[in-house]
Amino acid sequence: MRFSSSDRQINVNRLEALTDGVFSIAITLLVLTIRIPEPGEIVSQSELIKYILSLDFELFSYCISFFVVGSLWISGNKRMKFLRKTDDLHLWLSLLNLLFITLIPLTTSLLSDYGDFEFVELLFHGNILMLEIIALIEWEYLIRNTDLVQEEVLSKLDIRNIRKKNFFSVFVPILGMVISIFTSAWSNLVYLLLFFRSLIIRY
């Protein structure tokens, strides 16, 4: 039995529901990368305050990862916004994206515990780099396959600006990888550049 192309189309709402579910779980798991002392391990309020203050790097890693996941979710929502339907290749790109999203809690946990190791920093940046590359490919695929998108929405998009943002987002984790070679700690500060992405790419 042969199926027409319309028979193979996947409901966009189902893809969106799956994506939102994976992102919400990944964001929730991120907070588990911050270790809470076992009962009896801390016996006074002063010790608890001292312990919390010692979590500066762990809390910073959590906040950076939360922000990166959030920015990827926003970017994904923008792609979903003008999606009319999907096909097999786009679906696999979306699943590949979710694969690396689920790895972020793991790489963040390693970063919190072994942030002084160059390999762990490279692993974290590599995780983000793969996500940004997949996002860039997915955007390009949708732009080139106009049958998958809503024409009225596509016509309003600034394609040049989107491409500049995507390439800038790919550049950021690469910069982080380069910095981590010289100093393994705090190289994830580069992701603060994403706050100023729209301002930077104007020039």
Report domain extents, the chain. Answer: 8-200
**pLDDT above 90 (res 129):** yes
Cβ-defined contacts of 116-123 (< 8 Å, 24+) = 116/184, 116/185, 117/184, 118/180, 118/181, 118/184, 120/184, 121/176, 121/177, 121/180, 121/184, 121/187, 121/188, 122/177, 122/180
Distance separating alpha carbons of residues 67 and 60, to the nearest angstrom: 11
pLDDT tier for residue 146 given thresholds of 50, 70 and 90:
confident
Diameter of the chain by CA atoms? 72
Residue 183 amino acid letter: T
**Burial annotation 130-150 (CB, 10 A radius, 16+ → b, else e):** bbbbbbbebbeebbeeeebbe
- Phi, psi (deg, nearest 5) at residue 86: -135, 165
Using the predicted structure, report yes or no on whether residue 44 has a pLDDT greater than 70.
yes
- Provide the pLDDT for residue 171: 94
User: What pLDDT digit, counting tens, does each position of 91-123 carry?
Assistant: 999 999 999 999 999 999 898 888 778 899 999
Enter the tokens of residue 159: 């394609």
Coil/strand/helix, residue 83: strand
Structure tokens at 141: 């695929």
Please name which of 85, 80, 87 lies closest in space to residue 3, comparing C-alpha atoms.
87
